[in-house]
Amino acid sequence: MNPFQLTVWPIATRGRTGPDARFCGDSLVLDCRGCRLTPVPHSDECIRCVLTAMCEAGGSERVVLRTGRDTEISGRAGRALRGVASIRSWSVPAEEPRGRCRVCPCSRASVIRTFWDGFPGDGMRNARRILAEEAPDNEGCASCVNATGRALDQVDSGIRGVLEGLSSRGGTSR
């Protein structure tokens, strides 16, 4: 097996093996020919799939969606995806929660998963709704819910920073 070739499991394929992700030069190439959706780079599904691939394989400012007709994502869009993939990498907890937190809808892992599953659409609204409506009443859970809310604030701030950084540079490269 090629050590640079990874299989990713994007949401768009609903449990089937996702596209192979590999580096070819400085480009991350995703083989989308087996996807059940038509690759449209600005669609929510493609954005989630590309972010998943970048988190698994590594970031790149140039992404190629390999289909019958290849589509390249680069420039400002490529930088934005790489920045958001970096935020996704540090925001997702490394370990699943233990004990009763494992089944709690307000655990950081569950809320962050809800956010990224809905990104770039209404993920933040859904994650905040869970924290507001389903928070347990005991004291130990309150500190966890508050910490999860702060984590969402950091993710939101990070994504805003990526977008503001792109707009301040205008259309220039690097």
pLDDT digits (tens, 9 = 90+) for 119-163: 988 999 999 999 999 888 888 788 889 999 999 999 999 999 998
* Residue 105: Cβ within 10 Å count: 13
154 and 80 together in one domain: no
131 and 120 together in one domain: yes
Beta strands in the chain (DSSP E): 6-7, 20-24, 27-31, 62-66, 71-73
Q: How confident is the model at residue 33 (pLDDT cuts 50, 70, 90)?
A: confident
67 and 120 together in one domain: no
Residue 123's pLDDT is 92
Residues spanned by the domain of 54: 6-89
CA torsion through residues 138, 150, 98, 109, sign: positive
99 and 65 together in one domain: no
How many domains does the chain contain in total?
2
In a domain, 10, yes or no: yes
62 and 105 together in one domain: no
Q: Is the peptide bond before 120 cis (omega within 30 degrees of 0)?
A: yes
In a domain, 121, yes or no: yes
| pTM recorded for the entire structure | 0.78
Structure tokens at 28: 């991350």
150 and 99 together in one domain: yes
Parallel, antiparallel, or unpaired for β 27-31 and 20-24?
antiparallel
Residue 161's pLDDT is 93
Per-residue pLDDT for 54 more than 50?
A: yes
In a domain, 17, yes or no: yes
29 and 58 together in one domain: yes
In a domain, 1, yes or no: no
Tens-digit pLDDT profile for residues 86-105: 999 999 888 888 888 888 89
In a domain, 84, yes or no: yes
Mean pLDDT computed over every residue of the chain: 82
Calculate the alpha carbon distances from 74 to 20, 116, 139 in Å: 19, 22, 47
Question: Of 69, 89, 109, which one is at a domain's C-terminal end?
Answer: 89
Amino acid identity at 80: A
Question: Of 89, 121, 155, which one is at a domain's C-terminal end?
Answer: 89
Report the side by side order of strands in the sheet with 71-73.
6-7, 20-24, 27-31, 62-66, 71-73
Is residue 140 within a helix (H) or strand (E), and if so which, with residue range? Answer: helix 139-169
